[in-house]
């Protein structure tokens, strides 16, 4: 046990993350030196700060836990709060550096040192760090890898699968994605390990900085999606198995290494996320066909799906204080519920029947200009409608939830951090996005002759 503990501590060490960043050409400021990683909170029930510094401000919960609201965020009374894994003054040169943003926004230095002030649009937190990018190729490669686990990728990939490739396959990918991401986000809030310490780690990403670290949900989705895609598509479609294996390995590796490169996860976080995703797939993949059949054919499926996903969302909101992971969990559950309900309605109307077993395996069609043009037109029109749906629902649900629960909506960012606002806003907004993805937009394509 002691050897396993030493191995876990070694893989969890922030210095290993910093060493990988240096190997890939991310250069920290010379004055940082080799800062030792502070100890992680290990005692159960002790006050936990979502970062590696002492907790300074409770966020309003009465459970004794504290979470950092933003690095070097200066409150109205001059209180200084710190972010997840960012040590006081080490990353931004003190409070004054945060209070005085640079005159012009700069990109990360490519070969020369630069100071970059970056702001998380959701939490308002700002991180200002000196760093140098020695390898622009690796920087953009790993930036692409980390985007494979972000909302922009999902809002392009899942619609492309359902509208242009195979709706049967797309539904199963979303079912697995919902399970994996929900369990991963809840596990984060149960384990409550902080992000790697900065310094020595350079934070190249700030959006998910308020979340806990273990396990890496990017690594989980980057493992689950390509593996599920390979397992369900091979045999249904005719293509060489080697192509699918190479795609799955490259996809998974790129996402996992990108999280270490970005300074958002330790090596242990990524390894745990990889094997946790494989465990979930081993348990739940045999049930995917049964779940999809229930979603399509059961008369009361929409009512059961909506109630179950909403209950799971309420449960996840009780696990910890506010972070971006709570909102992500609600929108994942909402999207899954919307997709399932839309699939049920379109199945009942018999508008887009799945290919019969006699037609399998399917042959990939020859790529022609017409086929490519129609596919891109479907994707363009559909994604624009999804974005408009998201924007419209956001404009309606947030003020409505604030009015119903009598919450001031002068500061939208603060209002969205209340469960009474965030849960219905995320759930309803992304539920409607999922419903439009599988029902409203395919109906529009049918009317337009783009089916």
Which residues are the active-site residues?
218, 265
Q: Are 445 and 163 in contact (CB under 8 A)?
A: yes
410: tokens are 């002068």
Q: Cα–Cα distance between 349 and 354 in angstroms, integer?
A: 13
Q: Are 189 and 319 in contact (CB under 8 A)?
A: yes
Burial of 404 (0-12, 13-18, 19+ CB in 10 A): exposed
DSSP for 16-76?
Answer: HHHHHHHHTTEE--GGG--PPPPPPP-STTS---SSSS------S-SSS-----STTEE-T
Q: Cα–Cα distance between 212 and 216 in angstroms, integer?
A: 9
CB burial of 267-286 (b: ≥16 within 10 Å; e: otherwise) equals bbbbbbbbebbeebbeebbe
260, 274, 293: which is closest to 227 by C-alpha? 274
The angle formed by the CA atoms of residues 171, 176 and 178, to the nearest 5 degrees, is 95
- The H or E element that residue 286 is part of is none
444: tokens are 């529009």
Instruction: List Cα–Cα distances, 411 to 77, 123, 348, 422, in angstroms.
Output: 18, 12, 43, 13
Q: Cα–Cα distance between 124 and 107 in angstroms, integer?
A: 19
9: tokens are 């501590």
Burial of 246 (0-12, 13-18, 19+ CB in 10 A): exposed
Query: Which pairing describes strands 126-133 and 114-119: parallel, antiparallel, or unpaired?
Result: antiparallel
106, 110, 115, 114: which is closest to 135 by C-alpha? 110
């Amino acid at each position: 046990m002691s050897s396993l503990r030493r191995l876990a501590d070694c893989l969890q060490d922030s210095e290993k993350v910093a060493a990988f960043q240096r190997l890939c050409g991310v250069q920290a400021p010379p004055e940082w030196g080799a800062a030792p990683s502070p100890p992680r909170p290990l005692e159960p029930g002790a006050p936990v700060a979502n970062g590696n510094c002492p907790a300074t401000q409770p966020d309003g919960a009465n459970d004794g836990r504290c979470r950092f609201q933003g690095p070097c965020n200066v409150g109205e009374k001059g209180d200084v709060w710190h972010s997840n894994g960012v040590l006081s003054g080490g990353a931004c040169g003190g409070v004054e550096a945060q209070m005085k943003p640079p005159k012009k926004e700069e990109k990360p230095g490519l070969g020369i040192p630069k100071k970059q002030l970056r702001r998380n649009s959701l939490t308002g937190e700002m991180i200002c760090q000196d760093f140098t990018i020695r390898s622009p190729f690796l920087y953009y490669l790993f930036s692409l890898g980390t985007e494979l686990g972000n909302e922009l990728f999902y809002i392009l990939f899942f619609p492309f699968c359902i509208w242009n490739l195979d709706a049967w396959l797309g539904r199963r990918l979303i079912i697995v994605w919902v399970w994996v991401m929900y369990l991963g986000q809840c596990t984060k809030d149960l384990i409550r390990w902080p992000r790697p310490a900065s310094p020595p780690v350079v934070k190249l990403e700030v959006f998910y900085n308020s979340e806990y670290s273990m396990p890496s949900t990017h690594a989980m989705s980057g493992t689950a999606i390509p593996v599920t895609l390979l397992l369900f598509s091979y045999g249904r479609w005719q293509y060489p198995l080697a192509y699918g294996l190479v795609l799955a390995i490259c996809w998974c590796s790129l996402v996992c290494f990108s999280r270490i490169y970005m300074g958002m996860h330790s090596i242990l976080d990524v390894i745990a996320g990889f094997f946790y995703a494989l465990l979930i797939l081993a348990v739940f993949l045999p049930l995917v066909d049964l779940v999809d059949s229930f979603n399509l054919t059961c008369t009361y499926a929409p009512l059961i799906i909506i109630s179950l996903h909403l209950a799971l969302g309420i449960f996840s909101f009780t696990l910890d204080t506010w972070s971006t992971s709570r909102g992500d969990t609600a929108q994942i559950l909402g999207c899954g519920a919307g997709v399932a309900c839309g699939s049920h309605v379109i199945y009942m109307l018999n508008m887009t029947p799945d290919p019969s077993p006699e037609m399998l395996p399917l042959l990939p069609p020859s790529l022609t200009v017409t086929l490519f043009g129609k596919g891109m037109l479907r994707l363009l029109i559909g994604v624009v409608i999804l974005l408009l749906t998201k924007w419209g629902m956001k404009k309606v649900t947030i003020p409505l939830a604030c009015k119903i629960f009598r919450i001031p909506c002068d500061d939208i960012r603060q209002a969205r951090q209340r469960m009474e606002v965030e849960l219905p806003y995320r759930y309803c907004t992304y539920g409607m996005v999922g419903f439009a993805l599988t029902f409203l937009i395919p109906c529009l394509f049918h009317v337009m002759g783009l089916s």
